[in-house]
Structure 1
Amino acid sequence: MTTTSPTYTERTTVVLPSDVVVPDLGTVLVLTLAPEDGSDRPCTLGPAGLANVERALADAARRASAGEIAALVLTGTGRTFLAGADLHLIRTATRAEQVRELAEAGHRVVAALADLPVPTLAHLNGAALGGGLELALACDYRAADPGVRAIGLPETHLGLLPGWGGCTTLPRIVGPDTALTVVVDNPARGNRTLKVADALRAGIVDVVLPGADGPADAMAPALAWLRSVVAGEVEQPRRAAAATDQEWTTAVAARRPLAEARAAGGAPAALRALDTVAAARSLPRAEAFALEDEALVDLVMSDQLRAGLYAFDLLTRRAKKPAGRPADVAPREIRSVGVAGAGLMAGQLALLLARSLRVPVTMRDLDDERARKGLAAVHAQIDQDVAKGRLREEDAEQLRPLLRVTTDLGDLAGADLVIEAVFEELAVKQRVFAELEDVVSPTTVLATNTSALSVTAMAEHLRHSERVVGLHFFNPVAMMPLVEVVRAAATDETSYATAFAVAQACRKTAVAVADAPGFVVNRLLIRLLGEVLGALEEGTPVTEADAALRPMGLPMGPFQLLQLVGPAVAEHVLVSLRQNLGERYPDSPGLAAVVESGRSFVLGEGRPSASSPVDPAVGELFGARRVPQPPDAGALLDRVRRALAEEAGLLLAEGVARDAQDVDLAMILGAGWPLHLGGITPYLDRTGAAEAATGARFHEPGVASLPAQ
């Protein structure tokens, strides 16, 4: 069950110096950061790379003092200025001294840049993230190419903080409120970064330069601008005025409730960054940098940070190359698509497939009224996307004609792929596939969007069951990044490869799952909800059950999730899993009563959210199995953790998921499992639930936690 600890060797960044003579300015030393191996990968800095930069700056300081250079420009290669510290080295650090050395080396570099006795310019030729932006902030000026799309300090999203001067320098350049937007707010908003125009407005970038005529002249605009600034021909870039005490207090106080809530949910980085920014306000640079060092060491030498970096690695590496995708098997070419159904889910799928594949997509339903409503809903969604700026009108004009609707099954005859999105009942889906098989080509791939039913059972009576595959998209389809790709007993390599190719074309992350009840995400989520509902039946009050899971840091509570999914849908899946997997998925008469009565688990109208208040009165429908001492919040949390550990262990033992990494990737992308928890299995290891329930950890120490000492 365990996965092994990672090993890693630094991919060193080198510094390429060159002298450029600029008329009316003098000799400008251009330092270009580049990968040592000559590849086009983004540059990062570990100990060797930092040493290279430090030596280059020491030489620059010597030359500046000798009058050999009049200015210095720092730039990058390819599409990246600098992507910051090498996160893989941070993930494998075993001692606090290693982390402190890396933090102090970064601070020596930014201090050396800031202290050069000649004007310095950071030329942002591409993305400047984390430590990359911190090096740029140490320069006197920052110029950016117009195509730069990623500027920011994403550290708190990963469980770190800006530890090479970002907490100290940025507030002094742009003011505390703007700085905290970059340090705390943006990482919490889906790791948002700034485009170059946003960075210019914020005062992080001083000028956006026109594109150069070609690679040979790439530095010409930056050098010309630097000359004009030094010569006083253009105004000095604006800098924020020193903030007042009230401005500092307001900026910090505005972020504290959210940061404290995240810390209570197991994500301390934002609060630590907030406190560090506030404390560094009036300190000398050396003392402020020492605060950053201390905070960085504390965060890195924690299980939470290692779990977050493990999850980040899943999203940046494994998500791009799904395990289980057939190698050297060509997917079927998709020139047209059919969708069986025209309801809400069918319409979402049709729109996604038409927009992603740019091929005709035909929805088919049983009668004209349903068909018309389905197409009207799709067109309304297109109009809404245009109105909100998510889709250009010219793209919408090309998209609308691709979407069609019919009541004639024969209109799907020419489709290369047909995906069914009808009522979640096995007999209905079997009938749909049987009807389709009489119409479509023997090579047409038939896919089901089922969330829990057996794909093998759907295909077992077909003449060509080998071309049936599961493509479980999550709702809402446009937003949810996961697709569970389900291989049935007879699915052939071509159909399976086609399913992965379709998911990739739709810009979704595919996770291979075996054909088993609930697959991965719903099986685990319903197990969690089943334990909560079971506690209500035993007499736990709704408010106490709601509070019990808050330490898990989930994106919403169990009752908001139940209402979002829909009580009827949740009951249907719970009953189905109970029938297929046994009594560990409990019977819930209270949930059935909620469905029958039309009651809601939360108060308020509209789509439930994480902030929707729970309705305590709904608890009166539960209590079918009351016990003298129902679980309190602590006991319920422990019970949920053990249940999840047991179910995850069974998923792996049964081969439903290939390994714990795929379970984590699926839960992060399909269930919103917090990135800072590392996914579900590191959390269960860290809390002891894995060993308590299964007798073993899912990962060896050092994979998603601190290495064993």
Structure 2
Amino acid sequence: MSDTYTRFKLTYTPLGARSAYDDSPAAGRLAILTMDNGRDYKKPNTFGEQALNSLSEALDELESQTDVKGLLLTGKQFIFAVGADLTSFAGMDADGARAGGQGGHAVFARIMDLPFPTLAAINGACMGGGLEIALHCDYRTVSTGAAAIAFPEVFLSIFPAWGGTQLAPRVAGAKNAIDAIVVDALNNNRMMKPQQAFERGFADRLIDSAVFLDESVALLERLVTGEETIERPAGGEGGDPAEGLDEALANARAFADAKVHGATRAPYVALDLIEFAARGGDLAEGRRREQDGLAELLPAPQAQASVYAFDLVQNRAKKQPWRPEAAPRRLQKVAVVGAGLMGAQLGALHLQRLELPLVMKDIDEGVLGRCREHIEGELDKLVQKGRLKPGKAAFLKGLVTYTTSYEDVRGADWVIEAVLERMDLKQAIFADLEEVVEESAILATNTSSLSVAEMAQKLSHPERVVGFHFFNPVAVLPLVEVIRPEGVSDEAMATAFDVAKKLKKTGVQCADRPAFIVNRLLSRFNGTAVRALRRGNDFKEIDEAIKGLGLPMGPFELFGLVGLKVALHTAQTLAEAFPDRFVIDDNFRAIADADAPGVYDWSAGGEVHAQIRDLVQVDEDATPMTADEIRRVALEAAADECARMLDDGTVADARDIDTGMILGAGFPFFMGGLCRHLDQTGISQQVAGRDLVTSTDHAQS
């Protein structure tokens, strides 16, 4: 067993002591219960069986003390607690899930039963079970320095099952409970800032971080002595826990439908449990219902896939298992060539994260002007939100040079091009760059599908060219495909991974193959959608069928987002490379060549553009496919392509595909990416004759 599990450590204030921040009468002896796993703040407190046992032992001692007048619960520096240890969820069966729910309920309930006031001092990150244990206390304070407060469980296809669904509506009101437990979780796992947690009623006081612990102790002393009382309306801010409940539930269920399309039951189970509590349900019965729900959901494929996906993006990918051991180049100046929509986004990101002199190079003064507006506008937004000081914003703006001359790029040691997807153009740009940058400078391309090696083949130093493919919108999507062409230097690759980390992006390595990971798979997967048009299915019908997997958007919605001509260009690249399985349908070519911004006219309520609809040709005697057939054919095509990508060395391991599809294509955690889902459903066995995700992680072996 690990010796670094979270321990609950009891200390006591001296009898008769009084806080330095308070002139009220001494409250008597107070207990301070600190959660600490003995690691630094990068290893947050979590709750497993050993932690719950430690809490039980601390409560045994506390209950034996006859002179304790109050309890303050807090965490180690920067961390309160982030909930259950997710590693314990893998392979969990119904009995184990029920027992885990019962164990947490039993020990947390003892906090509620203590005969004196209890206060949770939320000093740092507080999530899941951490927020649940805080709700079991009578009062809560939150530090202005607390990094994030949230219930992320629904994002992982479970729900807060240690009292969260029952206590949140009682403390903060039903609407705030629904927002925190369901809406935020489904909205890309959005976290509450301290101010928002306080405003929603999850904390009774918001206290400056510099004096947080002392002031929290002082508040507890005043509560113990009666010098201060905290009036909290029944059910939180709203007074009645059920106030506005029907509307909030209807809105949340509609939101869940739009996000997961019924592909996971977690948000619906959570809403049912919140409704039970808000309508006055018995707390003990509510706990039993939480245990029943956990026994249903935790062993289910969705939650098990979520545990796998969480480990991929939070642990494995952050270790950058593909990164060479070579030292990365130390950057002093960066440049972006191509200042259009993508280039401007890349410039803004590099400036904000690296804080280095930046050159934005383009041939068009008008494009440079719009680029400047974007970069400076993004900084101004940060100032308005209070996330950046005006002086710092002015400093960053002063680091940028907007130019039409390559001479200004001289001295840059990291240059990324973001121009049109034309090989001749990119080759010419790299040739021009080689005339002005040092031999050791790293050149990167944001190409979405072209060969990086071919791009560099005419250079004197092709070994310094890497692929560095971002996804649109750059500020939102966390993936960068780091493409390793043959002959590239370890220093270039190490620098690319180092830059990805500093940009706060997740870099996933792939070989220099057409369209790399995400676009190659999406093209194969979505090719089914275009063929379904020939069978007589309409655009919306096909999109809804694919979204039934839980995906954020359908193929034709996606084509509109990335651009029809961009999607066609990627399809052409793949058709040239793999003509046996990437065939461009005439319908798709006609749609992409149409003068329309996308398939749907969102200004007209999302109806299909008339000129797009009129272009579709349906085969004679065609029979429309059912939704299940559309999904099945798409998944079978994806399974075939995943197996080929593993066999041809595009990726080292199926986990690379899953990480890419989660972070670059928005595949939900509850699918586990793509390969894990194909394994769970048996499709990979049927198509490829094997599971795609193996017990050995070949990227780390």
TM-score after normalising by structure 2:
0.92
Structure 1 match to 2:33: 31
Q: Secondary structure at the match of 2:30?
A: strand
Seen in structure 2, the aligned counterparts of structure 1 residues 432 and 626 have a Cα distance that, compared at 3 Å, is farther
**Counterpart residue number, 2:81:** 82
| More off after superposition, 265-274 vs 23-32 | 23-32
Give, in angstroms, the shift of residue 10 of structure 1.
8.6
Paired with 1:408 and 1:43, the residues of 2 have a C-alpha distance of 53
Residue 91, structure 1, aligned to residue 90, structure 2: yes
Tell me the equivalent position of 2:491: 494
Distance in 1 between residues matched to 2:387 and 2:573, nearest whole Å: 38
Q: Which of 40, 43, 53 is residue 45 of structure 2 equivalent to? A: 43
* Paired position in structure 2 for 1:445: 442
Q: Secondary structure at the match of 1:282?
A: coil
- For structure 2, the residue ranges without an aligned partner over 5 or more in a row are 19-25
2:11 matches 1:12: no
For 2:446 and 2:621, locate their aligned partners in 1 and report how far apart those are by CA, in whole Å: 40
Q: Is the 8 A contact 1:413 1:440 kept in 2?
A: yes
Name the CA distance, whole Å, in 2 between partners of 1:210 and 1:426. Answer: 55
- Say if 1:59 and 1:371 are closer, same or farther in 2 by CA, change over 3 A: closer
Residue 648 of structure 2, aligned match among 654, 660, 673: 654
- Answer with 450-459 or 653-662: which moved more: 653-662
Offset of 1:220 from its aligned partner? 3.4
1:697 to 678, 687, 691: 691
User: 2:146 — aligned with what?
Assistant: 148
- Cα offset, 1:602, TM superposition: 3.7
1:559 and 2:552 aligned: no
Number of aligned pairs? 684
Check if 1:680 corresponds to 2:674: yes
Runs of 5+ consecutive residues of structure 1 not aligned to the other structure: 1-7, 704-709
Looking at structure 2, the residues matched to 230 and 509 of structure 1 have their Cα atoms a distance apart, in angstroms, of: 49
1:507 paired to 2:504: yes
Distance 1:508 1:476 in 2: 13
**1:52 alignment partner in structure 2:** 54
Match of residue 71 from structure 2? 72
Amino acid at match of 1:255: A
Matches within 5 A, 1:408-423: 408-423=405-420
Q: Could you give the per-residue CA deviations for residues 72-113 of structure 1, whole angstroms, max 9, x where no partner exists?
A: 2222212212221111112242x3222222111111112111
Letter in 2 for 1:343: G
Q: Deviations over 1:410-454 (max 9, x none)?
A: 322221122112220112211221222223221121111110000
The verdict on how the C-alpha distance between 1:630 and 1:587 changes in structure 2, with shifts beyond 3 A counting, is farther
* Corresponding residue number in structure 2 for 1:4: none
Give the deviation of 1:239 after TM superposition.
3.4
Given that 1:466 and 1:491 are in contact with CA atoms closer than 8 Å, whether structure 2 keeps it comes out as yes
Find 2:225's aligned residue among 223, 231, 234: 231
Letter in 2 for 1:494: E
The 3-state SS of whatever aligns with 1:621 is coil
Aligned partner of 1:479 in structure 2 is 476
Separation in structure 2 between the aligned mates of residue 17 and residue 370 of structure 1, nearest angstrom:
62
Could you say which residue in structure 2 is the equivalent of 1:707? Answer: none
Distance 2:110 2:308 in 1: 33
- Measured in 1, the distance between the counterparts of 2:351 and 2:224 equals 54
**CA deviation after TM superposition for structure 1 residue 40, in Å:** 6.5
Conserved in 2, the CA contact under 8 Å of 1:260 and 1:271?
no
Deviation at 1:305, TM superposition (A): 0.2
CA shift, 1:471, in A, is: 0.9
SS of 1:177's equivalent? helix
Mapping for residues 504-543 of structure 1, pairs under 5 Å: 504-543=501-540
Q: Deviation of residue 592 (structure 1)?
A: 2.2
User: Which amino acid in structure 1 is aligned with residue 76 of structure 2?
Assistant: T
Counterpart secondary structure, 2:147: coil
Following the alignment from structure 2 to structure 1, what is the Cα–Cα distance between the partners of residues 44 and 452?
Answer: 42
Q: Is contact 2:327–2:494 with CA below 8 Å preserved after alignment?
A: yes
TM-fit CA distance, 1:380: 4.6
When structure 1 is superposed on structure 2, of 685-694 and 569-578 the one drifting more is 685-694
Cα deviation code 1:513-572 (max 9, x no counterpart): 110000001101111222211222344333432232122111111111111111111111
Match of 1:27, as an amino acid?
A: R
Tell me the distance in 1 between the aligned counterparts of 2:502 and 2:626: 47
Shift of 1:632: 3.5
User: Aligned with 1:117: secondary structure?
Assistant: coil
For 2:132, give the aligned amino acid: E
CA distance in 2: counterparts of 1:601 and 1:39, whole angstroms: 46
The amino acid across from 1:69 in the alignment is: V
Alpha-carbon contact 1:446-1:467 (below 8 Å) kept:
yes
What is the distance in 2 between the residues matched to 1:256 and 1:492?
52
Kept in 1: contact 2:127–2:149 (CA 8 A): yes
**SS, match of residue 552 in structure 1:** coil
In the alignment, the residues of structure 2 paired with residue 248 and residue 543 of structure 1 have an alpha-carbon distance, to the nearest angstrom, of 32
> Which residue of the other structure, out of 592, 595, 618, is the alignment partner of 2:592?
595
Find the residue that maps to 2:398 and give its secondary structure: helix
| Superposed displacement of residue 140, structure 1 | 1.3
> Which of 375, 395, 415 is the equivalent residue of 1:398?
395
**Root mean square deviation, CA, Å:** 2.6
TM-score, length-scaled by structure 1? 0.91
Q: Which moved more, 1:674-683 or 1:449-458?
A: 674-683
Encode CA deviations 1:118-156: one digit per residue, 9 max, x unaligned.
121212222221111111111111123331132222211
How far apart are residue 633 of structure 1 and its match?
2.8
* 1:61 maps to which of 60, 63, 81: 63
Q: For the Cα contact (< 8 Å) 1:168–1:289, is it kept in 2?
A: yes
8 Å contact kept, 1:560–1:612: no
Report the Cα offset of residue 694 of structure 1: 0.6
Maintained 8 Å contact 1:10/1:89:
no
Distance in 1 of aligned mates of 2:383 and 2:618:
50
Distance 1:313 1:357 in 2: 27
Q: Distance in 1 between matches of 2:662 and 2:441?
A: 32
Q: Which aligned pairs between 1:69-148 and structure 2 lie closer than 5 A?
A: 69-93=68-92, 95-148=93-146
In structure 2, the CA distance between the partners of 1:600 and 1:460, relative to structure 1 (3 Å rule), is closer
Aligned residues of 1:171 and 1:179 also touching (Cα < 8 A): yes
Question: What letter matches 2:317 in structure 1?
Answer: A
Tell me the equivalent position of 1:3: none
Structure 1 residue 665 displacement after superposition: 0.9
Specify whether residues 301 and 347 from structure 1 end up closer, same or farther in structure 2 by C-alpha distance, changes over 3 A only: same
* Residues in 1 aligned to 2:216 and 2:393: alpha-carbon distance in whole angstroms: 39
Match of 1:673, SS state, is: coil
| 1:341 aligns to 2:338 (yes or no) | yes
Q: Which residue does 2:310 correspond to in 1?
A: 312
| 2:98 counterpart letter in structure 1 | R
Percent identical: 37
Q: Which residue of 1 aligns with 2:22?
A: none
Which structure 2 residues correspond to residues 109-508 of structure 1 after superposition, within 5 A? 109-211=107-209, 219-240=213-234, 243=240, 247-262=244-259, 264-280=261-277, 281-327=279-325, 329-383=326-380, 386=383, 391-508=388-505
The offset of 1:601, in angstroms, is: 4.8
Residue 664 of structure 1: how far off its partner (Å): 0.9
Partner of 1:5: none
Q: Residue deviations 1:341-363, cap 9 Å, x none?
A: 22222222222222222222222
